[in-house]
């Protein structure tokens, strides 16, 4: 892979999609081609799976069933979008990836790690992020942002927005634990600040860790 692969992780309302967009613009200004995408999603089949899961229709299948659906969407996404873009030298920025499955369906969903690891090997293979940015935000603050967004747009809580506060906070701690185990590949950014401040911190991390490698 000649491009760079960056994923954004964190709880609901942490600002992942906003910061993906802002980082993409900054990297593009540096002369690199950028592809932005999301999970689940990124291809027609994966977007259909996204609608099925976030609409709550997979809930009765349990966390293991959801993990299988996520893996199916991810396999198509990686093969059709992410891997070809990286091979072509693009920088790929993805809103959620395998870490979300490890947290949502694994540590807080109860699906065995061995099952998730096997699904990941099939869906992802060697296509792993060069950098994982964890946007850290107290769960209560994140859910306030989600409710405010729904009030503005008329949207409704999805499958995961509607979970209880304690579960959201445990997911937050699980993301932090993943980052703590591999600080060379993860970067935790305080997302409980102004959007501009968060964006500047992210740019400093990306330019310091990856820009010199890509020069």
Q: What is the CATH number of domain 4-214?
A: 3.40.50.300
* pLDDT at 1 > cutoff 50: no
The predicted-structure confidence for 114-153, as pLDDT tens digits, reads as follows 999 999 999 999 999 999 999 999 999 999 998 888 787 8
Backbone phi, psi, residue 135, to 5°: -85, 110
> Average pLDDT over the chain, rounded to whole?
93
Domain limits, the chain: 4-214
Q: Read off the pTM.
A: 0.93
pLDDT tens-digit series, residues 154-170 = 877 777 887 889 999 99
Q: Is the peptide bond before 40 cis (omega within 30 degrees of 0)?
A: yes
For residue 26, name the pLDDT band (cuts at 50, 70, 90). very high
Name the residue among 124, 118, 137 with its Cα closest to residue 97. Answer: 124
Q: What pLDDT does 215 receive?
A: 53
Note the pLDDT of residue 160: 84
Select from 51, 92, 87, 82 the least CA-distant residue to 69: 51
Instruction: Determine phi and psi for 107, rounding to 5 degrees.
Output: -60, -35
Query: Token pair for residue 99?
Result: 């870490």
**pLDDT band, residue 77 (cuts 50/70/90):** very high
């Amino acid at each position: 892979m000649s491009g760079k692969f960056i994923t954004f992780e964190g709880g609901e309302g942490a600002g992942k999609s906003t910061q993906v967009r802002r980082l993409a613009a900054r990297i593009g200004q540096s002369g690199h081609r950028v592809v932005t995408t999301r999970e689940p999603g990124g291809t027609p089949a994966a977007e259909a799976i996204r609608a099925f899961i976030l609409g709550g229709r997979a809930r009765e299948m349990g966390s293991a069933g959801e993990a299988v659906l996520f893996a199916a969407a991810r396999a198509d996404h990686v093969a059709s979008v992410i891997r070809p873009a990286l091979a072509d030298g693009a920088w790929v920025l993805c809103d959620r990836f395998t870490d979300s499955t490890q947290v949502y369906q694994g540590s807080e969903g109860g699906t065995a790690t061995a099952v998730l690891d096997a699904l990941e090997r099939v869906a992802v293979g060697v296509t792993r992020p060069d950098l994982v940015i964890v946007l850290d935000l107290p769960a209560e603050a994140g859910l306030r942002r989600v409710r405010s967004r729904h009030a503005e747009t008329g949207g409704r809580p999805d499958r995961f927005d509607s979970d209880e506060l304690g579960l959201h906070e445990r997911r937050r701690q699980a993301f932090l634990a993943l980052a703590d185990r591999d600080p060379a590949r993860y970067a935790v950014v305080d997302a409980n600040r102004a959007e501009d401040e968060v964006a500047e911190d992210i740019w400093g991390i990306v330019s310091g860790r990856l820009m010199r490698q890509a020069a």
